[in-house]
Chain A
Amino acid sequence: MTIVIGFEGSANKIGVGIIRDGEVLSNPRRTYITPPGQGFLPSDTARHHRAVILTVLKEALDEAGVKPEDIDCVAYTKGPGMGAPLVITALVARTVAQLWGRPLLGVNHCIGHIEMGRLITKAHNPTVLYVSGGNTQVIAYSERRYRIFGETIDIAVGNCLDRFARVIKISNDPSPGYNIEQMAKKGTKYVELPYTVKGMDGSPLKKVCDAASKMLSSGECAAEDLCFSLQETLFAMLVEITERAMAHCGSQEVLIVGGVGCNLRLQEMMGVMCKERGAKLFAIDERFCIDNGAMIAQAGWEMFRSGQVTELQDSWITQRYRTDEVEVTWRD
């Protein structure tokens, strides 16, 4: 029996999760929400995390009914992400690891998403679409690496949506993307926005966001219609690059992870594409799509069981950490 605790805080969500051999014992989380029209800055985010992390840690232990001595390994997000928030989480992880006398494991955030997705959906070897506020990648596993087949050329899809949410000044509670999704449901008019896909890479998404903002200020169409059109355009691009990767790899499974993966319209569109190809779609709900501690614990569990450990002197954090840099020792 192996119990792993995971600390995640690379962006505005701070989460602590505990996993025991594939069972999620607890997964509490807090989100730093800024006023409408504002994004979140690293120092403010770090301050928020610092204020709540110990409470969340206690919640995780209480909910799981687990004591420190039961824990086998302490996993934390090594990167990628925002510097200051990452430092806070790493600091707490290092401290409890030393306090409890347990080994540390620095986990790649993206791989956390993937491993959680695999655990929850039991997808066998899917083409993974990882799409969030900070990342947009199409990933497939091959020979001990999660290889990046395609990615955004500039900003992530979630970032594009977040920026547009700031432009139309909608609430960031519970998340800007969620509120855009609700507004999009009320949109009816489709407005043409720039659409380009370069092979398996995405288009300059800043251009799409700017075009949408311009149309809004010119008064040509309502915010709801733009939300609708923005989603239709962005998600069509995502489905297209995913489909290309699937065709290239000969894969019949798709797994969507990352915060934007919560979006039901995206899941719906991906589902239609899968049905037409005879492929299967695996999607997860907001508990695990959105950044959370359990996903770090799960990836940590896999890494720990395959013999990996992070020495204290190596337990630094990094803002830039490519998904394909990690050797996936737990799969063959």
Chain B
Amino acid sequence: MAGRIPLFLLACGSFNPITHQHMRLFELARDQMHQTGLYRVVGGIVSPVSNGYGKHGLVASKHRLAMARLALQSSDWVTVDDWESQQSDWTETVVTMRYHYRRITAQYQQRTGERKDPPTENSGKPLLKLLCGADFMETFKVSGLWRDDHIEEVVGRFGLVCVSRGTLQTDRTVHESDVLSRHRRNIFLVREWVQNEISATEVRRALRRGYSVKYLLPDSVIDYIKENNLYTQDSEMKNKEIKLRPLNKQTILQD
């Protein structure tokens, strides 16, 4: 894979809890980006959202981080990062992206600075793209959830790798949005041919009702959930009356 651009994939989300489907996103995205012939995927980052996000049923970030770490123990290229969850307030996706981009660039500069001989396979400044599912792209349409200049930066400056579930809805979503269409060359659509709808919402529902979730998430995560009695009627009630933080924060900024 000489001469390819090194690429990091960043997935932001609740990970409430992490499931096999989340982990599949990384695998599918890596395969696809390699097939373009242009990129070499060197790392994956799972960045669980902070508690400040205020999403309905969100359990404490320390748990979501612990579960993600357990799930990714066996992965040799995807890691969990807690920077976003450590911030005092909810952080816009683009801010998280900027942070990670600075970090990987600094690492790269440190490595190339130290190296005496000319850089070979690892040469080239690494890029960072946002990894997401099709539902994520739909959220760009939700009024007040995203700032226009942020969408522009996420898609234009960084780029998206979007995994869809076999329908061509993502094509349509790009087509129906001017900003997405303008940057369509920076949006990589990955088809997931296997219908695999392991939504965390369904997993939480099953847990509340005492049904098995084995084989939908790693055993280690299931054990953790049981030991900490994580997903209950009470936990699902959390933030019920609260408005999602982006809807508050961005209104204030726009005033």
* A and B form one complex: no
Taking Cβ atoms with an 8 Å cutoff, the residues of A that contact B are none
Taking Cβ atoms with an 8 Å cutoff, the residues of B that contact A are none
